[in-house]
């Protein structure tokens, strides 16, 4: 089951500058900065009530964020939905005809297991499913 919007991901060119900018915008600082080597990204998270804003900066030239900024510039990159069982949701959405970008849930930032859906199957919006990792 999809429970809520967990976060909105925004691609930025310079995460230090954008952390300062969003800190001014929200009136509070990010609660974490985290690199995800496997994705070639540096991320930061701002908590806003029930939901979050994630900033993403490319840490390698070949990362998906680098390619996104090259094509479209900075801006909203994805919307992440929290699910209670990621394997079940992946199976359900695949059966519904959505194109999954990974066949297995993988590790993401902020203690999550994640899976992306191809934007061509979701009206142009990159969708991330995420589930909090149990420790």
Residues near Zn ion, by CB under 5 A: 9, 54, 80, 128
Where in 51-126 does DSSP place strands (E)? 51-58, 75-83, 106-108, 112-117
Comparison of 64 and 121: residue with beta carbon closer to Zn ion:
64
Comparison of 97 and 133: residue with beta carbon closer to Zn ion:
133
Which DSSP letter does residue 31 get? S
Specify the pairing of strand 32-36 against strand 41-48. antiparallel
Q: How far is the CB of 9 from Zn ion (least distance, A)?
A: 4
Comparison of 54 and 57: residue with beta carbon closer to Zn ion:
54
Specify the pairing of strand 75-83 against strand 2-11. antiparallel
Q: How far is the CB of 92 from Zn ion (least distance, A)?
A: 20
């Amino acid at each position: 089951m999809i429970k809520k919007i967990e976060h909105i991901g925004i691609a930025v060119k310079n995460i230090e500058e954008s952390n300062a900018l969003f800190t001014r915008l929200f009136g509070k600082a990010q609660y974490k900065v985290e690199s995800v080597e496997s994705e070639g990204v540096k991320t930061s998270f701002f908590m806003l009530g029930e939901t979050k804003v994630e900033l993403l900066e490319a840490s390698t030239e070949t990362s998906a964020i680098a390619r996104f900024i090259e094509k479209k510039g900075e801006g909203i990159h994805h919307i992440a939905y929290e699910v209670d069982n990621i394997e079940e949701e992946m199976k359900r959405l695949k059966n519904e005809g959505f194109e999954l970008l990974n066949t297995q849930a993988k590790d993401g930032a902020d203690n999550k297991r994640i899976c992306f859906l191809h934007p061509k199957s979701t009206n142009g919006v990159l969708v991330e499913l995420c589930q909090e990792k149990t420790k």
